[in-house]
Amino acid sequence: MSKKVIILGVTGSIGMNAVDVITSNPESFEVVAVAALRNKVQCEAVANVLGAKAYVGEDAAIRAVSENEADICLVSTVGLSGLAPTLLAIEKGMDIALATKEVMVMAGELVTTAAAKKGVKFLPVDSEHSAIFQCLPHTSSQFPLPTPASASPSATRFARGIPSLFPIPSSPIKKLILTASGGPFLDKPDDLSTVTVAQALNHPRWKMGPKVTIDSSTMMNKGFEMIEARWLFNVPIDKIDIVVHPESIVHSLVTFVDGATLAQLSPPDMRVAIQYALTHPNRIKAEREELDLARLGSLTFRAPDPKRFPCLNLVREACNLGGCAPAILASADEWAVEQFLKGSIGYMDIAKSLERCLSKAPKMKCDSLEAVLEADKWARAELSKN
Ligand code: MG
């Protein structure tokens, strides 16, 4: 039986890789709608190939979700614009294949609570979270999820993982270990303040959009992934570690309370994670490069340098502050990266802007769409002052 799919942000790199996965397995999927912010011609061409409806423009994602029914909605829009359509898709009972990490970063509590209430699943598309998801002992991305009082018994059971192969008395996770390529500036240049836009956009491993490429170079992207993991797997931030692994073969690991550590490995290809999010709980055949450990010979790992990558500590700080602090950090980062790409601020000013904004962040709850938007507005206004 084929799965009905909606793709939001279809013209981006995740969206186009998802289209590749889907057109390689036409019998497994039926794409009902695709949406893009711009790139009307490309969006319509893709829709044509897939036999889907095309939506383009500011409200494209919302319209695609509200006017169509699907089993799963792939959210791969840029930034906060993914939040409202994600909430709507949850409300309509669709599972969410989540690529837009800002949604979890800025509104993790809001969306996980909404999903638990509706009994829908979050299926990670990010390679690291997909790896963790695949290492978990059953097929849920959310365990053990805090149960909202209003959740129905079936929704609760679902949120705790169906099918659950065996009962899990309490979380068996001791630690999540996210791997990081380290980006282009792992060791050089010595003085990061000299970094140009062109250098920062040149990621050694993955080809992605400009915002996420800059975030990878500052390791803010990894910081966001820590917050995303915190919500997806309901693990406190102090149990989430980062290890630099430049080869990008081990995509992440889970250490369990009994001392066992499981990892997921594959040659770097984002289609592996995208496909698993779309086919879960099944695996289907794909033409991919096979892992050849003997040819690789060795894999290397090391701790990230906190001086070169101050964003990682800012993320821990924001999580410990709680409330809207992570949302404020994410908005501040969007603003700062935009300014850097425009040439208005230097490379090291990105982290400095975040630190400044976080130090002034007001205590705000983050339990509604309005609160998240308010936090976003506050951060931008605060940074624009200077
Ligand atoms: Mg990632």
CA–CA separation, 310 and 316 (whole Å): 10
Q: What is the pLDDT of residue 142?
A: 44
Q: Under a CB-based contact definition with an 8 Å cutoff, are residues 299 and 249 in contact?
A: yes
pLDDT in tens, the chain (386 residues): 799 999 999 999 999 999 999 999 999 999 999 999 999 999 999 999 999 999 999 999 999 999 999 999 999 998 788 999 999 999 999 999 999 988 999 999 999 999 999 999 999 999 999 999 999 975 444 444 444 444 444 444 334 333 334 444 568 899 999 999 998 899 989 999 999 999 999 876 667 778 889 999 999 999 999 999 999 999 999 999 999 999 999 999 999 999 999 999 999 999 999 999 999 999 999 999 999 999 999 999 999 999 999 999 999 999 999 999 999 999 999 999 999 999 999 999 999 999 999 999 999 898 898 999 999 999 999 999 86
* Ligand 1 centroid from CA 152, angstroms: 33
Dihedral sign of CA atoms 313, 316, 317, 323 in order: positive
Give the residue carrying structure tokens 């906190």: 306
Q: What does each C-alpha distance from 2 to 74, 195, 272 come to in angstroms?
A: 15, 47, 19
- Please give the domain boundaries of the chain with CATH numbers for all domains: 3-126 (3.40.50.720), 188-196+305-386 (1.10.1740.10)
* Ligand 1 centroid from CA 206, angstroms: 10
Q: What is the pLDDT of residue 209?
A: 79
Angle (deg, nearest 10), helices 210-218 and 325-342: 110
Q: Under a CB-based contact definition with an 8 Å cutoff, are residues 87 and 369 in contact?
A: yes
Q: Which segments of the chain are extended strands (E)? A: 3-8, 29-36, 53-56, 72-75, 95-98, 122-124, 173-180, 240-244, 250-256, 261-265
Q: Which residues contact 262 (CB under 8 A, 6 or more apart)?
A: 135, 253, 254, 256
Q: What is the pLDDT of residue 1?
A: 78
Q: What is the pLDDT of residue 296?
A: 97
Query: Tokens representing 87?
Result: 């909430």
* Ligand 1 centroid from CA 216, angstroms: 9
CA–CA separation, 274 and 366 (whole Å): 29
* Ligand 1 centroid from CA 240, angstroms: 15
Q: What is the pLDDT of residue 79?
A: 79
* Ligand 1 centroid from CA 82, angstroms: 17
**Peptide bond between residue 210 and the one before it cis (omega within 30 degrees of 0):** no
* Ligand 1 centroid from CA 31, angstroms: 25
- How many CB atoms lie under 10 A from the CB of residue 171? 14
Query: Tokens representing 100?
Result: 């837009």
* Ligand 1 centroid from CA 226, angstroms: 10
Q: Which residues surround ligand 1, an ion (CB under 5 A)?
A: 126, 128
* Ligand 1 centroid from CA 265, angstroms: 14
Output Rg (C-alpha) for the chain, integer angstroms: 20
Question: With the CA atoms of 152, 156, 161 and 164 taken in that order, what torsion angle do they form, in degrees rounded to the nearest 10?
Answer: -90
Query: Tokens representing 200?
Result: 């920062």
CA–CA separation, 70 and 4 (whole Å): 5
* Ligand 1 centroid from CA 128, angstroms: 5
* Ligand 1 centroid from CA 222, angstroms: 7
